[in-house]
Amino acid sequence: MFTALHERLATALPEGRHLPEEVWRRRHRAVLRVAGGQAVGLGVMALLLGRSPLTAGLLALAVAYPLVFTVLPGAGRGLRSAAATASLLAASVVLVYLMEGLTEAHFHFFVMVGLAALYQNWVPFGMALAVVLAHHGVVGTLFPQAVFGHGSAQHSPWTWSLVHGAFVLAASLAHLAAWRLNEQQGLRDPLTGLANRTLLLETTARMLARRSGPTSVLFLDLDDFKDVNDSRGHAVGDELLTTVSQRITGCVRSVDQVARLGGDEFAVVVAGSARTAAEVGERVLGALADPVVVDGRAIHVRVSIGVADSTSAGDRSADTLLRNADLAMYLAKSSGKNRVVVYAEGMERAAQAKAELITDLDSAVAEGQLAVHYQPTVELGEGVTTGYEALLRWQHPTRGLVPPLEFIPLAEESGAIVEIGRWVLTEATRQAAQWSREAGRPIDIAVNLSPRQLLDDDVVSTVRAALADSGLPAAQLTLEVTEGVLIDDVEAVVDVLRALRGLGVRIAIDDFGTGYSSLSYLRRLPADVVKIDRSFVQDLGSGGRSTTLVASIIELARSLELEVVAEGVETEEQHAVLGRLACSHAQGYLFGRPQPAAVQDPATSVEVPLPRTEALLAVRS
Ligand code: C2E
Ligand code: CA
Ligand code: CA
């Protein structure tokens, strides 16, 4: 019961937050001016009331003396505010004394307690209260005339000291209430009711100062929240943020604090190590795995999380801690999103390098640094090349060849992928049209589309324009999308895919088997081709479960009348197993690596037929 009372009291009372330095200085200067003015004023008043110059001087000195402590070198806020408050109250005592306890003179105490409350700190405030009570009780008992102006009070000073004390206390409570409300105002996020950035930084600073163990901060940023806001409207976005804030709050202990930093950014300060914080992060990922239903439609929320602990912040400042967590979040985002990354030394440099790459990417198309390489797709029965997949390459002026897995996520993030993707489409369709003419037979081309292209850009008209400009028949173009695009907003993606198919192009589901979707998902998709991910193909023939899995994908694809392409075929053994499973098409280093168009020539491409028996088996099954 005691703890409950204690907790309630603690939440009702002001926390005694540190005012920002600049605000504190301004208030302190004002208090000092009042204190100095009072010392001089009371000296003059004493003279006017006929006291001796010595008495007047001593009284003025009594008021001014505490101010000495405010200019002591090394004096902190606590000492300086206490000293200024001592001067304010000394003035009240002197005034009451000079006015011979006149009741109206006591009003001065109220004003001084109000001034002390400006510091919004328990030291001066508590001191003001203590002085008032002590002055009335002790001095009032010893020298009643110096404190009380009327006879009844002089006879029973303690009673009147209690009456005065009660009034001062009531005034103080009013100040406390104002102080507490001031503190709360502007510290909460209006939408979610969570702490805001200021409060988070203060809580973090306090934990850093008071805890001996490590303190950690998580920085969370929702992935692709902008798309939700753009496509579903701000009201839906707000509802989503509110739900997300509740789910995050459900993942932390009561000692940890969740804050909304603004937009789709959240942070959590955790009393614990980076490991504990990373566990909190994993819990948040788990809590957000269930789609959020707004207006009857499911929205899949993903979040990138950065974690940093106090051992990583050399200066033990809350700002540094939050910045490190932010950096780690940035890397979580650029390494594929929806994950937790713990800050490590050297991440500044990595982040810096990524930021530079993003800037460089902007000019890569214009400067002709991008190139498309082509990897053959072969029809397994006859071993003929039926088409190519266009794979982007970036020849960076100083870094050399940057692999697509490094720069495509960045281009996604920055939005540069939309322009780059358009360029790849134009380039690849033009090349395929040229090859088809030269070879005298249709050469297919597959182009990868990123999620951002699929949702952000007017991708349908881009594709239509590329086909028109190149003269390539739509049926020869396949657009590859990964399962990942589906989890954001299935309906919207399906609509776009339908529209693309309406142009006559084919849709391939890339990296099949690695994403979130299940086999049954395939039925719902407007797709023509399934590309079995390299990771399964690589295990073929090694006796693992991959063979069964690949077999069932092929079986399902056949029943849905989809073409199957096995990716990443490197060995004859894999080739043979695929033949036995009656897989129709394949791609991989065994048949050809991605090469510039000048090196690939479909007219002279070598045929890689299956060994005779395998081919027969494939045809029969
Ligand atoms: P992806 O679409 O799954 O492309 C296949 C990747 O596997 C290519 O990597 C290819 O070089 C590699 N590969 C092919 N055969 C083999 C093999 O036998 N063994 C091994 N170990 N690897 C093989 P790459 O070119 O590095 O591209 C990586 C990813 O970057 C692509 O994966 C694709 O998701 C993305 N990407 C490439 N070009 C584009 C583009 O123009 N637009 C978009 N949005 N993404 C692209
Ligand atoms: Ca692909
Ligand atoms: Ca793939």
213 and 260 co-located in one domain:
yes
- Give, for ligand 1, the residue of 391, 445, 535 to mutate: max count of ligand atoms closer than 8 Å to Cβ: 391
584 and 476 co-located in one domain:
yes
Per-residue pLDDT tens over the stretch 22-46: 888 999 999 999 999 999 999 999 9
Residue nearest to atom 16 of ligand 1 (CA): 568
Cα(382) to ligand 2 centroid in Å equals 23
Whole-number pLDDT of residue 542: 78
Helix (H) or strand (E) holding 261: strand 257-262
- In the listed set 283, 311, 345, which residue is the last one of a domain according to the structure? 345
- In the listed set 184, 213, 243, which residue is the last one of a domain according to the structure? 184
Whole-number pLDDT of residue 515: 64
291 and 416 co-located in one domain:
no
Crossing angle of the two packed helices 612-620 and 572-580, in degrees rounded to 10: 30
In a domain? residue 358: no
b vs e for 133-172, b when ≥16 Cβ sit within 10 Å of the residue's Cβ? bebbbebbeeebebbbbeeebbeebeebbeebbeebeebb
DSSP symbol at 66: G
Distance of alpha carbon 603 from alpha carbon 207, whole angstroms:
70
In the predicted model, what is the mean pLDDT of residues 196-200? 92
In a domain? residue 190: no
Give the pLDDT band (50/70/90) at residue 217. very high
38 and 95 co-located in one domain:
yes
In the predicted model, what is the mean pLDDT of residues 150-178? 77
Residue 13, token pair as written in the block: 């009372």
Whole-number pLDDT of residue 12: 61
Q: Around ion ligand 3, which residues have CB less than 5 A away?
A: 510-511, 567
Instruction: Return the bridge partners of 297, or none.
Output: 294
- In the listed set 304, 330, 345, which residue is the last one of a domain according to the structure? 345
Tally of structural domains, the chain: 3
Closest ligand 1 atom to residue 417 Cα is 44
99 and 216 co-located in one domain:
no
Cα(589) to ligand 1 centroid in Å equals 12
In a domain? residue 201: yes
Q: What is the CATH number of the domain that holds 611?
A: 3.20.20.450
In a domain? residue 524: yes
Q: Which domain holds residue 564?
A: 369-620
In a domain? residue 192: no
556 and 444 co-located in one domain:
yes
Pocket of ligand 1 (CB under 6 A): 375, 390-392, 403-405, 408, 421, 424, 448-450, 480, 510-511, 534, 568-570, 587-589, 594
396 and 445 co-located in one domain:
yes
In a domain? residue 248: yes
In the predicted model, what is the mean pLDDT of residues 539-559? 87
Q: What is the CATH number of the domain that holds 258?
A: 3.30.70.270
In a domain? residue 364: no
Q: Is the pTM of this model over 0.75?
A: no
In a domain? residue 361: no
Whole-number pLDDT of residue 618: 45
Contact by Cβ (8 Å): 451, 501: no
Per-residue pLDDT tens over the stretch 53-68: 999 999 999 999 999 9
Cα(391) to ligand 1 centroid in Å equals 6
Cα(86) to ligand 3 centroid in Å equals 75
